[in-house]
Amino acid sequence: MLETSARLLKLLSLLQVRRDWTGSDLARRLGVDVRTVRRDVDKLRNLGYPVNASPGVSGGYQLGAGAELPPLLLDDDEAVAVAVGLRTAANGSVVGIEETSVRALAKLEQVLPSRLRRRVNALQAHTVALPTTRGTQVDAGTLTAIAGACRDHQRLRFGYAGRDGGTKRHVEPLGLAHTGRRWYLVAWDVDKADWRTFRVDRIEEEPTLGARFTPREPPADDLASYVSRQLSVAPYPHEVRLIMHAPHDVIAARTSAGSAHLERIDDDRTRLTVGVPVLDEVGLWVAMIGVDFEVEGPEELKHHLRATAERLLRAAGDAR
């Protein structure tokens, strides 16, 4: 049987791993009886841990949210993952959390066992961070304000530096998405009466919270897919649709995130939709993906593909 202090730590660890536990399940895992579990739960409560209990056959114990953050018990892989995440955050695209991340990392590394510290330090020693692209960093306070407004269904007002200059926007936020180092806000633009996708790094100041609103029907069931299409297709005058003769995972690996919208047709085919400024660009780009394909649309793309193919054949000395 575990000593009391060790048993309390084990009990706390179990409560953090799973949302609901019955008294009998906890007793079995701890090697004690149910009465001892009840006493240990009371001891955790006296130490400030908010352990909730629900009666009845389907009842049990749950670790609730308290006024203060309790210590977390992490296994080896979890501790390494948190350390790596904090290092990444300290050099990431979100401004304002670097010092906080470094402080949290210092606390974690202080208590890491030597075997785990070696793993974390090895990763740090052999990893470099490339410089952030200018203009792609976002403020942590801005992200927090937007996320809170999405959760609470509150309107936002902010200045926005778009392609056509600065404007004032009044929106009903739906959600955030990010790809690489860029963050995007999907929101209903109140003045334009339409859905819009905003780059968060172009929001010029922390948004101002407004009145609450009733959520609208979202523009798509899958927010990530919607944003992908908005970025890769919507801004361009020509929409190209190709049937790629390869699985979705293969095409995704050979195209950069955000460059095209991909839809799985079946195990062997993928629909690729991309926006382009001119159709002449498509031939060389799609050839570099390296798989056979069919043109679904537009029909005029076939003329441009033939012209590109003939140009390449002439360069190779094989023109017919």
Question: Would you write out the chain's pLDDT as a tens digit for each of its 320 residues?
Answer: 457 777 888 888 888 777 788 888 999 999 999 999 999 999 988 888 888 888 766 568 988 876 566 666 778 888 888 888 887 776 666 766 766 777 777 777 777 888 888 888 887 777 776 665 555 678 778 888 898 899 899 999 999 987 777 889 999 999 998 876 788 999 999 999 999 999 998 998 889 999 999 999 999 888 888 888 888 777 788 999 999 999 999 999 998 877 888 989 999 999 999 989 899 989 999 999 999 999 999 999 999 999 999 998 988 886 55
Running DSSP on this structure, what letter comes out for residue 316?
T
Strands 94-95 and 138-139, by their bridges, are parallel
Running DSSP on this structure, what letter comes out for residue 71?
P
Q: What distance in Å separates the CA atoms of residue 93 and residue 248, rounded to the nearest whole number?
A: 29
Note the CATH number of domain 4-63.
1.10.10.10
Give CA separation, 42 vs 8, 37, 48, 64, 314, in Å.
Answer: 10, 9, 10, 14, 83
- Structure token pair of residue 275: 């926006």
Fold of 233-315: Alpha-Beta Plaits (3.30.70)
Listed by start position, the domains of the chain span 4-63, 76-125, 138-220, 233-315
Q: Mind giving me the DSSP string for 289-316? A: T-S-EEEEE-TTHHHHHHHHHHHHHHHT
Half-sphere exposure of 80 (CA within 13 A, CB side): 14
Count of residues in the chain = 320
Give CA separation, 214 vs 50, 150, 179, 211, 220, in Å.
Answer: 33, 11, 28, 10, 17
Q: What distance in Å separates the CA atoms of residue 284 and residue 119, rounded to the nearest whole number?
A: 43
- The pTM for the full model equals 0.62
Question: 137: which residues sit within 8 A by CB, 6+ positions away?
Answer: 93, 94, 95, 181, 201
Q: How far is CA 117 from the centre of its chain?
A: 27
| Nearest one of 228, 231, 298 to 262, comparing CA atoms | 228
Q: What distance in Å separates the CA atoms of residue 179 and residue 192, rounded to the nearest whole number?
A: 26
At residue 1, the pLDDT reads 44
